[in-house]
Chain A
Amino acid sequence: MEKFTTVTGVGVPLRRSGVDTDQIIPAVYLKRVTKTGFDDALFANWRQEPEFILNQPEYQGARVLVAGPDFGTGSSREHAVWALRDYGFDAVLAPKFADIFRGNSGKQGLLTGVISEADCEKLWSALEAQPGVELTVDLVEKKATLGDLVVPFEVDDYIRWRLLEGLDDIALTLRNEQAITDFEAKRAGWRPTTLPVRHA
């Protein structure tokens, strides 16, 4: 994973709350067996409406999405994160994120910054006042800057550290391989095993 420090790019004000992962990427697009090629699937149903914000020419090449509370609810599909990344987004700012989505994002280099509802409204207004304007998201300082407007955001310290360092979770865990092996040696015999297969 690449290291994430700051991102500067076009910001998109998505004035919707409770954006679930079925909206971010409808299930029909989940059939692919790769991690890429999902950019056309992002918000696929909404993008069929001509007035949808991502269809506006000012927002082409956007890198930062500013959405309402409860972004990423519902299905665990990591495809939602892949689709956002493929489309070009590096960061989503919202007042609240669903847990699984937030975890998935941290593993794919997508920053999920938690902002206050008041700051969300300010960012939306500022982005709408100048469609296509760029903002800077600084993970080191945990703030987003758009002209004079400076908005702090929260991000889990551990996720932040991994993003800043660009670390691979599995490699980190495998540093504890001996502890895992020791734990396995003590597991009770009644715990379930799928092999060998037992029949009814």
Chain B
Amino acid sequence: MNKPRTLAEKVWDDHLVVKGEDGTPDLIYIDLHLVHEVTSPQAFDGLRQAGRPLRRLDLTIATEDHNTPTLAIDKPIADETSRIQIQTLRNNAEEFGVRLHSLGDIDQGIVHVVGPQLGLTMPGITVVCGDSHTSTHGAFGAMAFGIGTSEVEHVMATQTLPLKAFKTMAITVDGTLKTGVSAKDIILAVIAKIGANGGQGYVLEFRGSAIRALSMEGRMTICNMAIEAGARAGMVAPDQTTFDYLEGRPHAPQGADWDEAVAYWKTLPTDEGAVFDAEVLLDADQLEPFVTWGTNPGQGVSLSDVVPSPADFADPNDRAAAERALEYMDLTPGTKLKDIPVDAVFMGSCTNSRIEDLRAFASIIQGKKKADGVRVMVVPGSARVRIEAEAEGLDKIIEEFGAEWRFAGCSMCLGMNPDQLAPGERCASTSNRNFEGRQGKGGRTHLVSPLVAAATAIRGTLSSPSDLEG
């Protein structure tokens, strides 16, 4: 009888090319390498300088997302450095033979939306990308993690990475979410509980009845933000929800391959009796809509709460961080979160820009008008999500509400493209990072779910859908 293993250990073991000895890392095979314009130019350069080919073009795919504008996408990109970076990716893709989905292509979009949508992301595979939010793909039961540019070059050259085994942490979320509470609130609550660095060195396996009840979109939202707890990766064991999502997608296995794959995937869930290095429990019944008040994703509380005081933190580092965060965010301890007015609402990013997210947002704003003076931007995660949303009439609901309906890209999640906050502006954002200046220099970010973003856009202050009743 073999030792019981976790999901993460099984995927790791099945990708072991060379087992490390005497403190050297294992050599792990990479099944899928996702590439975008920001973290790849120096990697392609490295290959060129060393005269190395890209080893597995058939396991590599590129898309343009971080720099791309979300308006007037048929015009040349106005910012010269952005334009050069995108052109560099196009040149590199052509020179090396990498499949690329450029701006305007039907399969263009945020790299972490495109992979799953094409059926390339599947259970039991290893996925890397020069982007920390690669953890998203763990929602399928894949081992997926962000890497730096040197590692991008390493994967291009060898299709492997030298890695030391990650520790495992079980995050069990049991119970039933209340109406108005969603996957985003689960992960924000998890990060607040374990801290923005509580997951360092770990793969988080999200399990329990509340996770099983989530759609693939919800699971992707959760795994996406595993990195915001400092974790290397997040994973959810594959089940029928996973198989149903995948079946029939362009690159999903077909015929006998499908049957073989599903049979294998069913062996992946963590064995009874397997031991995790750490365990965390969360009660879904008690969860409320969550929001961040500070400048790291762990600085979050229930939306019905008040802005905390630095004195509430026992740890001196946490206290100093809270002081600095409150100053940057221009918030006073004791203020009710729901009394905080916003200047902007951003609905998008690799965390929350899939069709289900847009449907959730639209369901709240339908037939209503946005609050005066609040700028509301809705940015689909991919060109296909945009098309699907338009086929359902969501674009009309969004435009009648007074919000802007944009083209696909990373948009206002990070200040690399024209979509940015002005200094001092406050934004309720469905993205993943509330770091200082993340959405534009001097911008202030409150991370929220699509449902909270919608209610906030209606009322103009941080709000949950239940605040709209009566």
Contact = CB atoms under 8 A, between A and B. Distances in A.
Tell whether A pairs with B.
yes
Interface of A: 16-18, 20, 22-23, 26-28, 30-35, 45, 68-70, 73-79, 81, 96, 98-100, 103-104, 107-108, 156-158, 169-170, 172-174, 176-177, 179-180, 183-184, 187-195, 197-200
A173 B28 CA distance: 10
Nearest to A33: B41
Contact of B437 (A45, A81, A187): A45
Contacts, number: 214
A194 B251 contact: yes
26 contacts: A17-B317, A22-B435, A26-B441, A28-B416, A31-B81, A31-B82, A33-B41, A33-B45, A70-B197, A73-B296, A74-B433, A76-B131, A77-B38, A78-B39, A78-B42, A79-B149, A103-B147, A107-B151, A173-B160, A188-B260, A190-B258, A191-B31, A194-B57, A194-B99, A195-B57, A200-B249
A22 B148 contact: no
Contacts of A180: 17, 27, 29, 158-160
B132 interface: yes
B258 to A, nearest CB: 7
Given A45-B441, A73-B196, A190 B158 contact: no
Nearest to B442: A45
Interface in B376-420: 384, 414-416
Given A188-B260, A194-B251, A22 B23 contact: no
Interface in B134-160: 146-151, 153-154, 157-160
Interface stretch (B58-66, B281-289, B457-465): B58-66
Nearest to A191: B31
A72 B162 CA distance: 21
B232 A99 contact: yes
Contacts of A199: 250
Provide the main secondary structure of the chain A interface: loop
A76 B132 contact: yes
B317 A69 contact: yes
A191 B33 CA distance: 13
Given A26-B437, A30-B416, A188-B260, A74 B32 contact: no
Contacts of A17: 317, 320-321
Contact of B264 (A35, A96, A188): A188
A160 B274 CA distance: 33
B18 A27 contact: no
Given A23-B435, A45-B437, A169 B150 contact: yes
Given A75-B132, A76-B148, A180-B29, A33 B196 contact: no
A192 B125 contact: yes
A163 to B, nearest CB: 13
B27 A173 contact: yes
B17 A170 contact: no
Nearest to B147: A76
Given A17-B320, A198-B250, 18 more contacts: A18-B197, A22-B438, A23-B436, A32-B85, A34-B42, A45-B436, A69-B317, A70-B230, A76-B146, A99-B232, A100-B146, A100-B147, A100-B232, A158-B23, A158-B25, A169-B150, A177-B158, A198-B251
Given A17-B320, A76-B146, A170 B50 contact: yes
Contacts of A179: 17-18, 27
A33 B39 contact: no
Interface of B: 17-18, 23-25, 27, 29, 31-32, 38-39, 41-42, 45, 50, 52, 57-61, 66-67, 79, 81-82, 84-85, 88, 99, 119-122, 125, 130-132, 146-151, 153-154, 157-160, 162, 164, 196-197, 200-201, 227, 230, 232, 249-251, 253, 257-258, 260-261, 264, 296, 317, 320-321, 324, 384, 414-416, 433, 435-438, 441
Nearest to B258: A190
Contacts of A198: 250-251
Nearest to B299: A18
Contacts of B82: 31
Contacts of A173: 27, 154, 157-158, 160, 162
Nearest to B23: A157
A189 B414 CA distance: 38
Nearest to A121: B316
Contacts of A183: 17, 29
B160 to A, nearest CB: 6
Nearest to A17: B317
Contacts of A45: 436-437, 441
B260 A31 contact: no
B183 to A, nearest CB: 21
B88 A76 contact: no
A123 to B, nearest CB: 16
B38 to A, nearest CB: 5
A174 B157 CA distance: 9
